[in-house]
Amino acid sequence: MTSPPTQDVEMQRLLEGYRQFRETYFEGNKPHALYQKLVEEGQNPKTMVIACSDSRVDPSIILGSLPGELFVVRNVANLVPPYDNDPKHHGTSAALEFAVQTLGVRHIILLGHSHCGGIRALLTKSDTEMTPKNPSFISSWMNIANAAKTKTLTHFEQAPLELQEKMCEEYSLKISLNNLLTFPWIHEKVTDATLALHAWRFDLGTGMIQGFHTERQTFEDLIV
């Protein structure tokens, strides 16, 4: 049985946030100009962000965006699977299709971050832990980044776990960046220069974002 909202501290906090939202964007049941425009004209974001589900990494807060500016999909470890035209459920791929084909976004940002629980699980859990009798959605999903784990443990086998995580986070971003290009309609728009792809890593400890520079193959501060 769930507690009534008035007796739940966390729910009280959320409801207070909701009240502040209403005061900012609505007057009674009438939307202010921003939401009125979004209702009348629909959404027209120019940027899609693929972010981690981690509660500490909210793209709208980090990037200071307003409602309607970002089309966001969040999943464990901000991964993009390779293109696969099968009848299974593909949440991230469906969001990509809608953002690129219907909304016509001009940018796709992969927003990774430090201290990622998905990446840590990938690095520290044995491949044998998932069995038919003990299935794991997380393990199956993180298999997308297996090559990042292999590369990290090959080149940084004796490094501290924190450095291994950082490198694996960066390698996994590169994998997802390459996977984006396996979608034919993304590859076409990138080739035509009507769509740009970005791989960013947000550091929870410093608040800094480093972006992947394709020519130099390095992650560099976005703001110097």
User: pLDDT tens digits for 20-66?
Assistant: 999 999 998 999 999 999 999 999 999 999 999 999 999 999 999 99
- The whole-number pLDDT of residue 1 equals 46
Q: Which residues pair with 196 in a beta bridge?
A: 107
Three-state SS for 220?
strand
Provide the CATH topology of domain 43-221. Beta-carbonic Anhydrase; Chain A (3.40.1050)
Confirm if 84 and 101 have CB atoms less than 8 A apart: no
Confirm if 208 and 221 have CB atoms less than 8 A apart: yes
pLDDT score of 71 more than 70: yes
Tell me the average pLDDT of the chain: 93
Q: Where in the chain is the domain with CATH 3.40.1050.10?
A: 43-221
- The whole-number pLDDT of residue 86 equals 86
Confirm if 116 and 165 have CB atoms less than 8 A apart: yes
- What strand order describes the sheet that includes 196-202? 70-75, 47-52, 107-113, 196-202, 209-213, 218-221
> Which residues in 145-157 are b (16+ Cβ under 10 Å) and which e?
beebbebbeeebe
Structure tokens at 199: 């791989």
